[in-house]
Amino acid sequence: MDRPNVVDCIRLVVHVAATTHLSIAIYYDYNFAILPKLAMDLQLEPPYGGKFKYLTFICGIIQTSYYTLALAYDVVGGRRIRRLRDYLLATYVVPLALTVSFTFWTLYSIDREGIYPKVLDLVYPNWLNQAMHTYVVIYGVAELCVTRHIYPSRRHGFAGLAMFMVWYLGWLHLLWYRTGIWVYPFLGALSWYVRILFFAIIIGLAFVYYMLGQYLNYVLWVRPKGERNVPPRIVSYR
């Protein structure tokens, strides 16, 4: 058996740290970061869906599941585990981490009260906010740097990402249709055409983030050394 090298050790540390950190964040978010019933009485939050109506929480579950799977591959290996690991990273982990983080912090910088009022600091501690909106990107970038991934064909990757986006958009509108309350209150302040434009930009950027992750994986792991100007080659399973 080959002895683990430095990169293998760093990879293991990243996977253990991400799995532990995000698991704690998800557990705390689900069990303790709960808005008082008054928020629903005042129609500040839809009464349906629980935590699973928030993209941040769904993304956190996907991230935690991925790093748990990656840790399992580090320990037991297996081609099927690796294929699933690589597909999840390419299709969901990187695009959703960047979507959640960049969208949140952009809106936060424009109008904090519209996306994350200061009163929420009483419910969501800063470490939880950072874990769910910042560290998901840090771990994603670290993962690209320490693990070589074989990306699925762009057709399959885009299809998986598109299905997720369509599902969440439908879920978001179903909650609004059933309750008359938007999961994210600022959406109610937008006209319908601005809202459509907002969703189109968010979804479009998600596919840009997919390609960015694929390109970084190529630059770090696929491109032959010394060939700086060679366009990316799509490396995929057959």
Residue pLDDT, tens place only, 31-64: 998 876 655 655 567 878 889 999 999 999 999 9
Place of tokens 């969501």: 124
Q: Is 54 left (phi over 0), alpha (psi -120 to 50) or beta?
A: beta
Distance of alpha carbon 119 from alpha carbon 121, whole angstroms: 5
Identify the band that residue 223 occupies on the pLDDT scale cut at 50, 70 and 90: low
Label residue 203 exposed, middle or buried (CB < 10 Å: 0-12, 13-18, 19+). middle
pLDDT more than 70, % of the chain: 88
- The DSSP result for 47-94, as a single string, is SSSGGGG-HHHHHHHHHHHHHHHHHHHHHH--HHHHHHHHHHIIIIIH
Rounded (5°) CA angle 192-195-199:
140
Domain span holding position 78: 6-222
Distance of alpha carbon 185 from alpha carbon 179, whole angstroms: 13
Q: Residue 121: its pLDDT value, please?
A: 85
Residue 140 within any structural domain of the chain:
yes
Residue 102 within any structural domain of the chain:
yes
Q: Residue 117: its pLDDT value, please?
A: 80
pLDDT digits (tens, 9 = 90+) for 94-117: 999 999 999 999 999 998 887 888
- Type of residue numbered 209: Y
Question: Region 220-236: what's the mean pLDDT?
Answer: 56
Q: Residue 176: its pLDDT value, please?
A: 95
Q: Residue 4: its pLDDT value, please?
A: 64
Is the pLDDT score of 224 beyond 90? no
Residue 232 within any structural domain of the chain:
no
Distance of alpha carbon 96 from alpha carbon 56, whole angstroms: 9
pTM of the model: 0.90
Residue 238 within any structural domain of the chain:
no
Q: Dihedral (C-alpha) 116, 52, 102, 60: value to the nearest 10 degrees?
A: 110
Residue 214 within any structural domain of the chain:
yes
Question: Region 153-165: what's the mean pLDDT?
Answer: 97
Residue 35 within any structural domain of the chain:
yes
Residue 231 within any structural domain of the chain:
no
Distance of alpha carbon 132 from alpha carbon 129, whole angstroms: 5
Distance of alpha carbon 29 from alpha carbon 122, whole angstroms: 13
Alpha helices in 116-153 (DSSP H): 126-130, 136-146
Q: Give the chain's domain count.
A: 1
Residue 204 within any structural domain of the chain:
yes
